[in-house]
Structure 1
Amino acid sequence: MKIAELIFIPFPAMGHVVPAVETAKLLVEFDNRVSTTVLLMKPAIDSSTIKYTESLAASTLPDRMRFIELPSLDELRSSKGAAFLGCLLYLQALHDEQNVDITEFKNSDAELEIPSFVNPMAARLLPSMTFRKDSVLVLVGAARRLREASGIVVNTFVELESHAVNSLSKIGIPPLYPVGPIVNLGSDQSDNNSEIMEWLDDQPPSSVVFLCFGSLGSFCVDQVKEIAYALEHSGKQFLWVLRNPSQGKMESASDFQETLPEGFLDRTIELGRVTGWAPQAGILAHRAIGGFVSHCGWNSILESIHFGVPIAAWPIYAEQQFNAFQMVIELGLAGEIKIEYSEGSDSGIVSADSIKKGIEGIMEKDSEIRKRVKKYE
C-alpha cells in the first residue's frame, strides 16, 4: 500500500505549532495511508513553544508521524481563518491588478469591501505586516502561491464562516477544505496549575472572567495598572495571565508586586488570581469561566467558541485587529474593549472604565453575545 506523506511547516510560535501537531495526529489516526512530518523551525518565538517541542521528543507518537528540527529561517506567516485567507487574496489582487500601494492604508480612513466579509472594514484594521514595504511583498507573494496550490486547508468550520467560505468558492481559487476547529485539548504542560484549577473548582458556574493575551501578549506598566483597577472595581471574580510588561516573558505571581498597584494582590485575594501562565484550553473548558478577555488570536477564538465562552476583544499585534473586527462586527460573537489598539502606538492607554465596561458586557448571563456563542458549543 502506497503511503502519502504530508509535511507541516508551522511558524515557530505556540499558536502555530500546536494546531499543526494536532492536525498531523488526527490525519495519521484517521487514515493508515497517510504519514506526517512536522518541521520545527528555530528559534522558537516564546519559551512555552520550546517546552512544548521538547515534550514532543519525549512523548509516545502515533505511527507514521515524525518531527524534524530545522535551523533558523526568515520570518514566515501562515493564514488563519477563511475570512483572513479571503483578505490575503483580495490584497494581492489590489497590488497586482490595480497597482495599489497597500502600505498607504496604515493611516487611511478608507473602508475596504473585502469579499470574505459582509460588512466593510476600516483599512487601518488590516494585519500590521501589510503596512511595511518589506513584509507586504512577502504577504502578496504568499497569496500568489496559494492560488497555485492543489488545495487549501483552513482551520475553521463552515457554520462559523459560511459567508467567507462561500465567497472563496466563487473566485476561482483551489479547493478549500475547512477542517476545524482544531484546538489543543491535550494535557497541560505545567506542574504548577493545580492551585489554579482547585480555585476554579470552588467558584460558581460562569462567574470568573479569564484574561489572557497569548504567548507574546504583554502591556506597559501603566496599562497593567488600568487592568488591575478595572478588575478590582468590577467586583467580578477573575483569573489573569500576566506577562512581564512589554517583554512577553512569563513570570511567577511573586514577581508581580512591582508591576501591579500597591496592595492589589492582598485586596483581591478573595476575588481572583494572577499567574504567569495557565493552560488556556483547560481553563476555558472549566464550568466556572464565564467570559474571556482576549487578544483574538485565531486559536484563542476557536477555543473560546468550542467551549461556549464569550470574548471581550482586545487585539494587540499581527492580524488580531482583523480577527477582532470579524468577531465583533461581522459575526457578533464578541464584545469590545478596544478593537483599534496596538501596543506602543498612539492609541494611548485604555482606561479602567473602558475595560470594566467590556468585562461587564460579556459577563451578563443573558446577553445576546453569550446566546450566540453557546450555539456553537
Structure 2
Amino acid sequence: MDEMSSKPFVLLVPSPGMGHLIPFLELANCLVAHHNFQATVVVVSSNTSPAQSQAIQSATTPKLFDIIELPPLDTTSSQVNAAGSVFTQLPAIMLEARSSLRSAISAMKLKPAAMIVDLFGISVLPVADEFQMLKYVRVSCAWPLALLLYAPILDKEVEGEYLDQKEPLKIPGCKPVRPEDVVKPMMNRKDPEYESFIRIGSEIGVMSDGILVNTWEDLEPTSLKAMREDPEWKQILKVPVYTFGPMIRPGGSSSPRGEVLGWLDMQPNASVIYISFGSGGVLSADQITEMAWGLEFSSQRFIWVVHPPSKDGDKGNDISAYLPQGFMARTHDKGLVVTTWAPQMEILAHSSVGGFLSHCGWNSSLESIMNGVPMITWPLYAEQKMVATMLVEELKVAIRSKVLPAKRVVGREEIEMMVRMIVEEKEGDEMRGRAKELKKSGETALSEGGSSFNTLSELAKLCEINTQRQKVGST
C-alpha cells in the first residue's frame, strides 16, 4: 500500500479572510507534522488578497500539505451582499462555494476522511455527507461558543434588547455574560446578522460530528465542563466538544530582523509595551490623540501599530496628522510608531516586550499568553469583550479601562496609569508570572500525552476508521 494512502486525509475549508485562513493553515501544519495526517486546505474567496497569497506561500514552504484555491465566485449574480456583516456575508459566500468545492473533491485521487470548517462554513457540511466524510466545526474559544450555542434559548427567554438587560445573561454551568459584553450580532435583535447568529447557534451543535476549540482543558475548564456534563446542555449540544489548542502562528526566527526587531534588541528586558489592534482595528481620531499623550506621559518604551481613522475627514491618511504636534520628535528615543505591518509573533516573543495593549482577538490573546506577556485589554468588536473579561477576571493576566473603549474615549491619564502598571509595577509582574504559568500549561497540552495532543490523536483514529468505512461503502 502506498504510504500516503495509508495516512488519514483531512480537508480544511476556512471561510474567506485572513483571520479565518491563518488558523486553518496552523492546524493543517500541526496535523501533518505531529499526527501523521495528509491535509488539503481549500481556499474560498471572491478574490485572493496579497496578504492571503503571502500567508499561503509561507505556509507551504516547506510543502507539508496541499492548498486548493477555488475559482473566484461571481458574487454579482448570487445572494452575497458585499456590504453585509460577517454573520450574513460569509455564510452566503460559503453557500455559493458548494458547487466548486464539490467539483474539487471529486477530482481528488484520494477521498478525504473528514472535513473541518469554521462556524461560517456549516452550509458546506452537506457536501461532506455526499462524500461520506466526518464533519467538524472549528471555533476559537469555549465561553463565546457556549453563548453561541445557548443563544437560541436566550432568544426565547429574554425580552427586549440584550444590551438593556439589568442582570447578566445566565448560561448553564458557565460564567454569566454581562449585557455590555455580548457579541456584536446580539447587539441589535432587528438586524439580519442576529437572525443568522441564532441560526448558526441552533445548527452548529447538531449538524457536525464534533466541535474543535482552539483552547486547552486547563485554560477554560468551567465552560468546557458545563457543555459536556451539565444536564441542561444535553438537549442543546448533541456532539462532542474537543480542545486542540493553543494553536498559534510560529515565529519566523530566520527572517530578517528589520527596523522593529533591531530596535527591540537594544531595549532592556520586559521594558516595552506593544500596542496593536489587529488588521481590522481602527481608533477614532480623538482616541489616537489620547493614546499618544498617554504613552508619552507614561515615559515607557513602546511599539505602536496605528492606522488612520476609518473616517478620514479633512486630514487624509497621514497618521502624523492625528498625533499631537511634536509627538514623534519627543518620543523618538522611547518608541516606534508603525503604520504598516508588524511581525507580531516575533515582537511578543522578544525578551524586551513587557506588555501588550490588545484588541483581544483570540489569536492575539493566545500569542500573548504563549509568550508570557500580560495585557491591557482594548476590545473593539466580535467576541473580544467576552475574551477581555475572561483575561481580566478568570485568567488574571490582564487589566482593563474603567469603561469599555467602545463606549467612550479613554483618557490619557488612565492610559498612562495602565501602561505604567503593566510595565513597571508589582501588579504587572504578578500578571507576567501568571501568563508564564499558563504558557507552560499550554505547552504541556500540546506535548505528547497532553490533552490537546490526545484530542488530535483521537481525531486521527476516527479518520482512519472512517477511511475504512468509505472503502467498504465504495465496493
> TM-score under structure 2 normalisation?
0.70
Q: Which residue of 1 aligns with 2:327?
A: 264
TM-aligned CA deviation for residue 280 of structure 1: 0.8
TM-aligned CA deviation for residue 232 of structure 1: 0.3
TM-aligned CA deviation for residue 43 of structure 1: 4.7
Alignment of 1:124 onto 2:124: no
TM-aligned CA deviation for residue 62 of structure 1: 1.2
TM-aligned CA deviation for residue 355 of structure 1: 1.2
Deviations 1:47-106 (A, max 9, x none): 67435346359844214x2232353652346542011111111212222xx3545x7112
Q: Which residue of 1 aligns with 2:90?
A: 75
Higher helix share: 2
Superposed counterparts of 1:107-122, under 5 Å: 107-115=164-172, 117-118=174-175, 120-122=176-178
Superposed counterparts of 1:239-318, under 5 Å: 239-246=303-310, 255-276=318-339, 277-318=341-382
Q: Residue 145 of structure 1 is aligned with which of 203, 206, 210?
A: 203
Please tell me whether the aligned partners of residues 142 and 220 of structure 2 are also in contact (alpha carbons under 8 angstroms).
Answer: yes
Letter of the structure 1 residue corresponding to residue 372 of structure 2: G
Name the CA distance, whole Å, in 2 between partners of 1:213 and 1:190: 23
Q: Which residue of 2 aligns with 1:66?
A: 67
Name the CA distance, whole Å, in 2 between partners of 1:99 and 1:318: 23
Secondary structure of residue in 2 paired with 1:359: helix
What is the number of equivalent residue pairs in this alignment?
360
Q: Identify the range of structure 1 (286-295 vs 214-223) with the bigger mean alpha-carbon deviation.
A: 214-223
TM-aligned CA deviation for residue 162 of structure 1: 1.2
Q: Which residue of 2 aligns with 1:251?
A: none
Alignment of 1:373 onto 2:429: no
Please tell me whether the aligned partners of residues 81 and 155 of structure 1 are also in contact (alpha carbons under 8 angstroms).
Answer: yes
Alignment of 1:89 onto 2:144: no
TM-aligned CA deviation for residue 365 of structure 1: 5.2
Name the CA distance, whole Å, in 1 between partners of 2:154 and 2:164: 18
Gap regions ≥5 residues in structure 1: 249-253
Letter of the structure 2 residue corresponding to residue 374 of structure 1: K
Please tell me whether the aligned partners of residues 276 and 306 of structure 2 are also in contact (alpha carbons under 8 angstroms).
Answer: yes
Secondary structure of residue in 1 paired with 2:41: strand
Name the CA distance, whole Å, in 1 between partners of 2:275 and 2:347: 10
Aligned-residue identity in percent: 33
Q: Identify the range of structure 1 (222-231 vs 75-84) with the bigger mean alpha-carbon deviation.
A: 75-84
Q: Residue 42 of structure 2 is aligned with which of 38, 47, 65?
A: 38
TM-aligned CA deviation for residue 9 of structure 1: 3.0
Letter of the structure 2 residue corresponding to residue 61 of structure 1: K
Alignment of 1:353 onto 2:378: no
Please tell me whether the aligned partners of residues 295 and 416 of structure 2 are also in contact (alpha carbons under 8 angstroms).
Answer: yes
- What CA RMSD, in Å, does the superposition of the two structures yield over aligned residues? 2.6
Please tell me whether the aligned partners of residues 31 and 37 of structure 2 are also in contact (alpha carbons under 8 angstroms).
Answer: no
**Cα distance, 1:332–1:80 mapped onto 2, change above 3 Å:** same
Please tell me whether the aligned partners of residues 21 and 38 of structure 1 are also in contact (alpha carbons under 8 angstroms).
Answer: no
Please tell me whether the aligned partners of residues 25 and 59 of structure 2 are also in contact (alpha carbons under 8 angstroms).
Answer: no
Deviations 1:270-315 (A, max 9, x none): 1100002211111000000000000000001100000000010011
Please tell me whether the aligned partners of residues 8 and 36 of structure 2 are also in contact (alpha carbons under 8 angstroms).
Answer: no
Letter of the structure 2 residue corresponding to residue 321 of structure 1: K
Superposed counterparts of 1:98-247, under 5 Å: 98-100=156-158, 104-115=161-172, 117-118=174-175, 120-132=176-188, 133-148=191-206, 149-170=208-229, 171-172=233-234, 173=237, 174-187=239-252, 194-246=258-310
Q: Which residue of 2 aligns with 1:50?
A: 52
Name the CA distance, whole Å, in 1 between partners of 2:195 and 2:161: 14
Secondary structure of residue in 1 paired with 2:357: strand
TM-aligned CA deviation for residue 5 of structure 1: 3.8
Name the CA distance, whole Å, in 2 between partners of 1:186 and 1:99: 46
Alignment of 1:17 onto 2:21: yes
Please tell me whether the aligned partners of residues 83 and 116 of structure 1 are also in contact (alpha carbons under 8 angstroms).
Answer: no
Deviations 1:95-142 (A, max 9, x none): 2xx3545x7112333311233633x33112101111233112211211
Name the CA distance, whole Å, in 2 between partners of 1:351 and 1:328: 20
**Cα distance, 1:7–1:365 mapped onto 2, change above 3 Å:** farther
Structure with max Cα Rg: 2
